[in-house]
Structure formats: C-alpha cells, structure tokens
C-alpha cells in the first residue's frame, strides 16, 4: 500500500485547529451574500490569490477580515459542519478545536450566537459522523487582560461545552505572562489550559506557558529546539506539542518542509503531533499535512503510526476511549 493510501486510511485525531481557519472561500462568499456583507475581493480566485503570507501577522489580518462575514448562529453552524464533513472524509475520528470568541464579540456578535452554532454542529458531528470533540476557547493575545477576563466571564454559563482555554494571535510582544491571572482563574473554573508558544516567539515564551500558565499542551512549540534544557524538560514531562507543518511553511516559520523539525523532535523523545491549524488558508487538512511531511522527510509507515498514536495519547479523550485508539 502506498504511503498516501496508508495516511488516508488510518484513523486520526486533530488537536490544533482554529474553526475560523477552516473558512473556505466558496462558503465565505455564500455567507457574505446572504448577510449582505462585502468582501474585499470580487471572486473566489482573487481571494485565494491573496493567500500569500510572509509571517503570522500578514495571515492574521486576512483571517480576521474573513471572519467578519459570520453573523448568525447558522453561519457558525455551517462553518463547523463544513469542517466536520471534510475531515470525516479523511478518517479523522476526534477533533479538539479552537474558537476565538473575541473576533466576533468585538464586532457586536453575541458569545451565545457563536458558541450555539459551533456546539450544535459538533453535536451533530458526533451523532451523524461519529466524530468526538472538545471545544477550546482561545483568548486573542494582542488584546488586553481585561478583554480576556470579560470573555472568560461570558464563557462560564457554557462551561459544560468548553473543555479548555487557549492563547493565540500575534505572538511576539504578547508573552504568556500577560495572561497569567486570566489563566489562573480559568484553571480555578476547571478549564484545561493550552497556549500557542514558540511559533514565532522565543523559547522563553514556552517556559512561561509551562511555568506561569501551567499548560497541558504547547501549540506549535517549534522554537523549543533553541534551548536544550527546555527540550529535556518537555521530553521528561511528555508535554504534547501540536505541530502544524503546512502552517509553518506558509507562515515562513520554515523555508521548506524538508527542514521541518518533526523528525529531530521525535529523535529527542518529544511527544509531537501533526495538525492543520488553519487548513482553508494553508493549503491542506490533516491528510495533506501528513502527506507533506511524509514526502519531504521520507517517513515510514511506522513513523506515521507513531505520530497518529501520539495524537490520541495527547488528546483529552477519556482513558477508556483512548485505549481503543492506541
Ligand atoms: N498562530 C497564532 N494565532 C493563530 C494561528 C496561529 O498559527 N492561527 C489562528 N490564529
Ligand atoms: Zn494555531
């Protein structure tokens, strides 16, 4: 069996996925039309041509602009349902997905509208497609602490629907320490904490995520390789790193998939996983991410299997469910 078919067939889990980053241009135009919202580009092709980024910020500017057309609960449902049906075709069986409430509440959309739409689609995904899920609420780190606190407050009535809190958006200049108090409160309220760290920011931000936010996973974490002591600590803790190969390539974190550090990280006994981050913007969902690194790094089926198992191991599935997948 070819490595491509092997990757397609193996049941997978996704642990690093921004639901707003799954907004495909075709659906964006459809939703914009029904909401009478303008898009800066006149055709799907013109929009797709704008997807060329030199860094994280250039991507974020386009990603937030795209999310502007999402207004009604049905829009959030359709966005989430489209993602679930897509990954169902790719044999993804479990997803842990981020949503960015502030991207919407700052535009006057209510927290309830956003979460109701996403949650109902996730419920249907479980019932109709058999995809289990966890929802993670992510704070935008370029905004201030009080906005994050306000968002946490809005989330409390929906605690049963939200498994964790995360930290995303513009990394450099917005270290985890900025949100130490918000994360302390979130942990008190039983949300499991994760944070993007070491994507563009330094290894020091990964230390802060561990020591100050007490995270259960690091999202990205590429820059840990700059600090040997940190690598040893992450390996000893078996702290999961949610890597995103195509994202790294598109945001120029790496220059070529052949330089992707995933193999080096496996050699150092780090618990690394493969994920798609923002698949509508970076040219691929789960299978495309696995294919990309498998080809560039000449991965064996055994290595692919290990990576897939890592994802289930690092997931927040109950232990009994996890065992069935390993
Ligand atoms: N990094 C930070 N923030 C994000 C990303 C990312 O890769 N994707 C969506 N928001
Ligand atoms: Zn991300």
**For the chain, what are the domain ranges?**
3-314
136 has which bridge partners? 98, 164
Q: Is the CB of 242 under 6 A from ligand 1?
A: no
Catalytic residue among 93, 199, 208, 250: 199
Pocket flag, ligand 1, residue 16 (CB < 6 Å): no
Q: How far apart are CA 229 and CA 210, in angstroms?
A: 13
CA of 17 to the centre of ligand 2 (A): 6
State how far the Cα of 167 lies from the Cα of 195, in Å rounded to an integer. Answer: 5
Residue 202 confidence (pLDDT) above 90: yes
Q: Which of 224, 201, 217, 209 is nearest to 55 (CA)?
A: 201
pLDDT band at 97 (very low <50, low <70, confident <90, very high): very high
CA–centroid distance for 178 within its chain? 21
Residue 326: the pLDDT is 85
The whole model's pTM is what?
A: 0.98
Atom number, ligand 1, closest to the C-alpha of residue 247: 7
Instruction: Name the residue of 243, 278, 282 to mutate for ligand 1: max ligand atoms within 8 A of Cβ.
Output: 278
- Please identify which residue in the block is written with the tokens 């109950």: 318
Residue 131 predicted with pLDDT over 90: yes
Rounded to an integer, the average pLDDT of 83-105 is 98
Q: Is 199 a catalytic residue?
A: yes
197's tokens: 């760290």
Beta bridge partners, 115, equal none
pLDDT, the chain, mean: 98
What pLDDT score does 280 carry?
98
The DSSP code for 289 is H
* pLDDT over 90 at 118, yes or no: yes
Residue-level pLDDT at 20: 98
Where does the pLDDT of residue 72 fall: very low under 50, low under 70, confident under 90, or very high at 90 and above?
Answer: very high
Backbone angles phi, psi at 179, to 5 degrees: -120, 20
Task: Summarize the confidence of residues 214-241 as an average pLDDT.
Answer: 98
Closest approach atom of ligand 1 to CA 199: 1
pLDDT > 90: percent of the chain: 99
- Return the pLDDT at 92: 98
- Give the residue whose CA is nearest to atom 4 of ligand 1: 169
In short, whether 247's Cβ falls inside 6 Å of ligand 1 is yes
The CATH H-level superfamily of 3-314 is: Metal-dependent hydrolases (3.20.20.140)
Annotation: binding site: 16, 18, 196, 277-278
pLDDT for 314? 98
Q: Does any ligand 1 atom lie closer than 6 A to the CB of residue 277?
A: yes
Average pLDDT of the residues in 21-39: 97
Q: What is the mean pLDDT of residues 156-170?
A: 98
Ligand 1 centroid–CA 15 distance in Å is 13
Residues 260 and 275 sit within 8 Å (Cβ to Cβ):
no
* Mean local confidence (pLDDT), 144-153: 98
pLDDT band at 42 (very low <50, low <70, confident <90, very high): very high
């Amino acid at each position: 069996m070819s490595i491509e078919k092997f990757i397609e067939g193996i049941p997978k889990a996704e642990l690093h996925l921004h639901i707003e980053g799954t907004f495909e241009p075709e659906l964006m135009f459809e939703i914009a039309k029904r909401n009478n919202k303008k898009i800066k580009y006149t055709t799907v092709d013109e929009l797709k041509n704008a997807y060329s980024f030199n860094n994280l910020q250039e991507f974020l500017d386009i990603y937030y602009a795209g999310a502007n057309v999402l207004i009604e609960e049905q829009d959030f449902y359709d966005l989430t349902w489209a993602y679930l049906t897509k990954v169902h075709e790719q044999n993804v069986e479990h997803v842990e997905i981020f949503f960015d409430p502030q991207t919407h509440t700052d535009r006057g959309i209510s927290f309830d509208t956003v979460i109701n739409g996403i949650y109902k689609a996730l419920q249907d995904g479980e019932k109709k497609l058999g995809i289990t899920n966890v929802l993670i609420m992510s704070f935008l780190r370029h905004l201030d602490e009080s906005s994050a606190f306000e968002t946490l407050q809005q989330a409390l009535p929906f605690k049963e629907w939200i498994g964790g809190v995360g930290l995303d958006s513009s990394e450099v200049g917005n270290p985890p320490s900025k949100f130490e108090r918000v994360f302390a409160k979130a942990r008190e309220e039983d949300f499991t904490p994760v944070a993007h760290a070491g994507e563009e920011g330094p290894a020091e931000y990964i230390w802060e995520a561990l020591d100050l936010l007490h995270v259960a996973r690091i999202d990205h974490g590429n820059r840990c390789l700059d600090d040997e002591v940190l690598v040893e600590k992450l390996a000893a803790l078996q702290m999961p790193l949610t890597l995103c190969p195509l994202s790294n390539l598109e945001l120029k974190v790496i220059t070529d998939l052949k330089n992707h550090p995933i193999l080096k990280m496996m050699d150092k006994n780090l618990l690394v996983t493969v994920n798609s981050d923002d698949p509508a913007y970076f040219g691929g969902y789960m299978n495309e991410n696995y294919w990309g690194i498998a080809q560039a790094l000449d991965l064996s089926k055994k290595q692919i299997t290990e990576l897939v198992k890592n994802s289930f191991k690092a997931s927040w599935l109950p232990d009994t469910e996890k065992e069935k997948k390993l």
